[in-house]
Amino acid sequence: MASTQQPQNLRRHIGGRQARPFWGAIVCGCGVLCSPMFAEVKVADFGTTTDGIAVKQYTLTNSHGVVVKLIARGATLAEWHVPDQHGNMDDVVFGFDDVAGYESKDNGYFGATAGRVANRIAGGKFKIDGQEYTLAKNDGPNTLHGGLQRSLDKVVWEGQSFEKNGEQGVAFKYVSPDGEEGFPGKLTCRVTYTLTDKNEVRIDYNAATDKATPINLTNHAYFNLSGAGSPTILDHELMLAADHYTPIDETLIPTGQIAPVAGTPFDFREFHKIGARVDQLTDQPGKGYDHNFVLNSQTGKLALAAKVRDPKSGRVLSVYTTEPGVQLYVGNFLTGAKGKGGKTYNHRSGLCLETQHYPDSINQPKFPSVILRPGKTYQHTCVYQIATE
């Protein structure tokens, strides 16, 4: 098609708003604008929550045909279709085909944005400026991933799709009222996903509060680089840019110690198969890796945190973050949930690399602070990139 005309149906109604199309201007030899590259984020209805709230699904595509789907419940990374070393596409993250799946007890925070405080808070309690706050305990004696009912993975976010510099994305916003799940302050959270032409999913987090409050946002995607539903991740090889980790007690709360990884099964400074030493870890519920690693980069600048190689598919996941820590969780609590397309997510068949501050930081004065104060902005970037080798 050689045309300078915009198609009639260019302005489409998306999610209750007008979508702005992206035009890649391609000027060919004849000097006219040829084959305009029309890229638009696809928006569809994904279903309705049990509370009657409609959930949108957003489909992002890049120039290599990589497809990412996001859903507004939990600002969730729901699908990521990427080629293997032979060019075959697989969806490499866990998820469900419908809202009911995400609302079910089988959902171990698949792909969700976890918060307001991802990871654990010991005893479901903390103090800020002398005032004590009590939260719901949803993980034995502790609070996990922001609480019981209206943690950030369970609420429906407002999504706004965009196209910028040829890349597609969705900006999600959720305003958590003062006191929600027991946390102080009205917290305005933004999570922006961008699919880049380097096959990266870039996640930019941003938040502001009107009262001092703890915050620790992360993404809880489970990856299996052979394709979600493949039997194991114990054959994946992992490298972590971490000389130290935070040992935990029998309820997975850090002891406060920052321990060297050298000479332990936590030493991933060079690639090791996840399965090689996982069974040496028997001291905590679930056993296996479920630990925070203290990243070598503590500058707040984007730096490599982890790499995962899958010898079978040739896919390699690289994780970059501005955060000081990453939680490695290897699916110890998975028990065979039925996910997308009827695939089964068995014990240790998915792994999470959750970039974040350290668990229970709000009660651990020696850990980097998670307190956000009015007038300050919380910011965090995490980039997941999948390539082949």
Binding site for ligand GAL (CB under 6 A): 108-109, 144, 252, 290, 327, 329, 333, 352, 354
To ligand GAL, the closest distance from the beta carbon of 121 in angstroms equals: 13
To ligand GAL, the closest distance from the beta carbon of 282 in angstroms equals: 15
Asked about 220 being catalytic, the answer comes back as: yes
Rounded to whole angstroms, the Cα distance separating 156 from 49 reads 9
Pick the closer one to ligand GAL by CB: 6 or 257: 257
Q: Which residue is nearest to ligand GAL (CB)?
A: 108
Pick the closer one to ligand GAL by CB: 94 or 109: 109
Pick the closer one to ligand GAL by CB: 55 or 112: 112
To ligand GAL, the closest distance from the beta carbon of 291 in angstroms equals: 8
Active-site residue among 79, 167, 180, 220?
220
To ligand GAL, the closest distance from the beta carbon of 279 in angstroms equals: 17
Show the 3-state SS of the chain.
Answer: CECCCCCCCCCCEECCEECCCEEECCECCCCCEECCEEECCEEEEEEECCCCCEEEEEEEECCCCCEEEEECECCEEEEEEEECCCCCEEECECCCCCHHHHHCCCCCCCCCEECCECCEEHHHEEEECCEEEECCCCECCEEECCCCCCCCCCCECEEEEEEECCEEEEEEEEEECCCHHHCCCCEEEEEEEEECCCCEEEEEEEEEECCCEECECEECCCECCCCCCCCCCCCCEEEECCCEEECECCCCCECCCCEECCCCCCCCCCCEEHHHCHHHCCCCCCCCCEEEEECCCCCCCCEEEEEEECCCCCEEEEEEECCCEEEEECCCCCCCEECHHHCEECCCCCEEEEEECCCCHHHCCCCCCCEECCCCCEEEEEEEEEEEC
Asked about 79 being catalytic, the answer comes back as: no
To ligand GAL, the closest distance from the beta carbon of 227 in angstroms equals: 21
To ligand GAL, the closest distance from the beta carbon of 120 in angstroms equals: 8
Pick the closer one to ligand GAL by CB: 2 or 259: 259
Active-site residue among 181, 244, 354, 380?
354
Pick the closer one to ligand GAL by CB: 271 or 333: 333
Pick the closer one to ligand GAL by CB: 163 or 354: 354
Just list the catalytic residues: 220, 354
